[in-house]
Amino acid sequence: MVSGFTKFKERFQGFENQYVIIGGTACDLIMENEELPFRATKDVDIVLIVESITAEFGRQFWEYVK
């Protein structure tokens, strides 16, 4: 699993409908679930769902980025 992703998941629990994980991290999660080898990237690619973002998510996200 990508380093730090567990902390990200914990920090944004309850906000899952406001973002989508894509790219190598998403592939790593799928492959890990299927118990298949995969060389994960070192970053987390995120698409924010603008129509769903709340002010609380924005605060949490900004604190996480800092």
Structure tokens, 7: 């902390």
What is the residue-averaged pLDDT of the chain? 89
Instruction: Give the residue from 26, 63, 66 showing the smallest Cα distance to 43.
Output: 26
Q: Coil, helix or strand for 31?
A: helix
User: pLDDT value at position 1?
Assistant: 64
User: pLDDT value at position 33?
Assistant: 85
Determine the Cα–Cα distance for residues 20 and 47; give it in Å rounded to an integer: 5
Radius of gyration of the chain (CA): 13
Provide the whole-model pTM: 0.77
User: pLDDT value at position 25?
Assistant: 86
Query: What total number of domains does the chain contain?
Result: 1
pLDDT in tens, the chain (66 residues): 677 788 888 999 999 999 999 988 898 889 988 888 888 778 888 999 999 999 999 999 999 988
Residue 21 belongs to what domain range? 5-65
